[in-house]
Amino acid sequence: MKKIFSILTLAAILLLSASCEKRERQEPVSIKIQLQFEEAAFTVEGITVTLSDAGETTSYEQTTDNSGAATFMVPAGNYKATAVYKIAPQDGERIAYNGRANEIVVKPTSGGSAPFLINLLKVVSQQVIIKEVYNAGCLSADGQGSYASDQYFVIYNNSAEDADASNLVFGITDPYESYSANAYYDEGGNLLYEHESWIPAGGALWWFKEEHIILPPYSQIVIAVSSATNHTAVNPNSVDLSKAEYYWMCNVGLGQMYDRARKYAVDDNIPQSHYLTGKAFAMTPSGWPFSTASPAFFLGRMPRAEAEALCLDSDNYDKTLGAMFTCIKFPKANIVDALEIWTKGNEERSHGRFSADVNSNYVSLATALGYSVYRNVDKEATEALPENAGKLVYNYADGTDDVEGTTDPSGIDAEASIANGAHIIFSETNDSFIDYHQRKVATLKK
């Protein structure tokens, strides 16, 4: 009997202990998140800090006090935190401070401990930005497969002044897919060039042939990646890239591997002055490897002669990924804009390819459904333009929040507003998750 009593007593103690432990885990813990810039407290009151659980299914918002800290009461667990602070435009220049902390581990004992830190980066607005990328293709004509010969991207003048686009260059990072094995990470999960002055550009760099390209305020250029033809003639689910005002990334002269790549084609409508050119520095048998799954795409600014010399200088080559995947060290100082795309469903095994000072996050994209990645509207800046009175169209419905989970939080329908005569200012935070969403219909699909 005594033995039975002892067993029952032990069981009761264990149950009580488990109950206490469970209650301890569930009871909210008070934590602080401190914003800092250049290793000093960012003492601005009223900045919204968002804390999300690791799966981003639950989020909490608090604002900073006059010390630049926000206080949360949350259950123990793993979290991510973000903060964005925008300054009113000065002399036409918009500035944002953007930061993210991806590993915040809240323990039951975290209350009263040192605050968690979000390091802010200063983002200065650029005139020319990446407005849209359509890379993942659409369903084939018979609906049984995919069609991805119709890739394009759109650059946009996000300002009220003329923009000189003459010295723009276009590139991607390597690895070409976010979920590929990435030798640029060390065993500790650190990006090797996080604090270097360069990123690895892969495959080739491209630039315009025209000597002078002026992009008027709030206007855009459409650039076909490999085949500048009317794809709807082959596949009604696709887009027409044959219009005379469009540009084409011509493969001629880039090297034998590119010259014989069959996927390159151009319509007679497009003048030769609208053909881009460039230099290849890696073996890519099908042409520029602009991923149909998850490209990390960047827009740079550099004189053409300097860009060509950069591509030809073997002292500037990086072979971390192997000789077949030679990269060049493209200077971060010359990067104008960057967009990191990850394949929907492959996020857990993906890695960022930009350092945080270039781009701090990613946007997910489902492939082969005709979706594009589209820039979010800066609601406050756009509504502040006096010429937009009565021209903005709201209740945006082209995001994929109903099927794949993202949309433009501004609620402004950018394309409908532009058609209505409005000027749109798009978000610029150097955080792809904040700046972009998945659009259910590419804008060139009519």
Query: Which of the listed residues 91, 124, 157 is the one where a domain comes to its end?
Result: 124
Same domain? For 241 and 352 the reply is yes
Q: Is residue 133 part of a domain?
A: yes
Same domain? For 161 and 255 the reply is yes
Query: Which of the listed residues 71, 104, 124 is the one where a domain comes to its end?
Result: 124
Bridge-based pairing state of the strands 146-147 and 116-124: unpaired
C-alpha neighbours within 13 Å on the C-beta side of residue 295:
27
Please report the pLDDT score of residue 6 as a whole number.
Answer: 54
| CATH assignment at residue 103 | 2.60.40.10
Same domain? For 192 and 289 the reply is yes
Q: Which residues pair with 139 in a beta bridge?
A: 146
Tokens coding 12: 């009761």
The tally of domains found in the chain comes to 2
Write the DSSP symbol of residue 173.
Answer: B
Burial 36-55 (b: 16+ CB within 10 A, else e): bbeeeebebeebebbbbbee
Please report the pLDDT score of residue 7 as a whole number.
Answer: 54
Bridge-based pairing state of the strands 40-41 and 29-37: antiparallel
Q: Is residue 383 part of a domain?
A: no
Same domain? For 158 and 298 the reply is yes
Same domain? For 367 and 227 the reply is yes
Same domain? For 262 and 179 the reply is yes
Let me know: does 59 contact 81? Beta carbons within 8 Å: no
H or E element: which one contains 22?
helix 2-26
Please report the pLDDT score of residue 293 as a whole number.
Answer: 95
Please report the pLDDT score of residue 261 as a whole number.
Answer: 74
Same domain? For 229 and 152 the reply is yes
Q: Is residue 3 part of a domain?
A: no
Let me know: does 430 contact 338? Beta carbons within 8 Å: yes
Please report the pLDDT score of residue 43 as a whole number.
Answer: 96
The tens-digit pLDDT sequence of the chain (446 residues) is 444 445 545 455 545 454 444 444 578 999 999 999 999 999 999 999 999 987 778 899 999 999 999 999 999 999 999 999 998 776 678 899 999 998 899 999 888 889 999 999 999 999 999 999 999 999 999 988 999 999 999 999 999 999 999 999 999 999 999 999 999 999 999 999 999 999 999 999 999 999 899 999 999 999 999 999 999 999 999 999 999 999 999 998 887 677 777 789 999 999 999 999 999 988 777 778 899 999 999 999 999 999 999 999 999 999 999 888 899 999 999 999 999 999 999 999 999 999 999 999 999 999 999 999 999 999 999 999 999 999 999 999 999 998 888 999 999 999 999 999 999 999 999 999 999 999 999 999 96
Same domain? For 137 and 116 the reply is no
Q: Is residue 307 part of a domain?
A: yes
Let me know: does 417 contact 385? Beta carbons within 8 Å: no
Tell me, rounded to whole angstroms, the distance of Cα 164 from its chain centroid. Answer: 23
Same domain? For 321 and 286 the reply is yes
Q: Is residue 393 part of a domain?
A: no
Q: Is residue 215 part of a domain?
A: yes
Please report the pLDDT score of residue 395 as a whole number.
Answer: 98
Q: Is residue 304 part of a domain?
A: yes
Dihedral angle, C-alpha 434, 436, 437, 438, nearest 10 °:
-150
d(CA 206, CA 52): 39
Bridge-based pairing state of the strands 327-331 and 296-301: unpaired
d(CA 373, CA 400): 11
Please report the pLDDT score of residue 3 as a whole number.
Answer: 47
The full DSSP string for 101-157 is EEEEEE-TT-TTSPPEEEEEEEEE--SEEEEEEE-S-EE-TTSSSEE-S--EEEEEE
pTM for the complete prediction? 0.90
Same domain? For 64 and 135 the reply is no
Same domain? For 88 and 180 the reply is no
Please report the pLDDT score of residue 93 as a whole number.
Answer: 80
Residue (of 101, 88, 102, 94) closest to 36 by Cα position: 101
Please report the pLDDT score of residue 22 as a whole number.
Answer: 47
Residues with Cβ < 8 Å from 262, sequence gap 6 or more? none
Please report the pLDDT score of residue 136 as a whole number.
Answer: 97
The boundaries of the domain holding residue 283 are 128-376+426-439
Q: Is residue 344 part of a domain?
A: yes
Write the DSSP symbol of residue 185.
Answer: B
Query: Which of the listed residues 90, 106, 124 is the one where a domain comes to its end?
Result: 124
Same domain? For 107 and 179 the reply is no
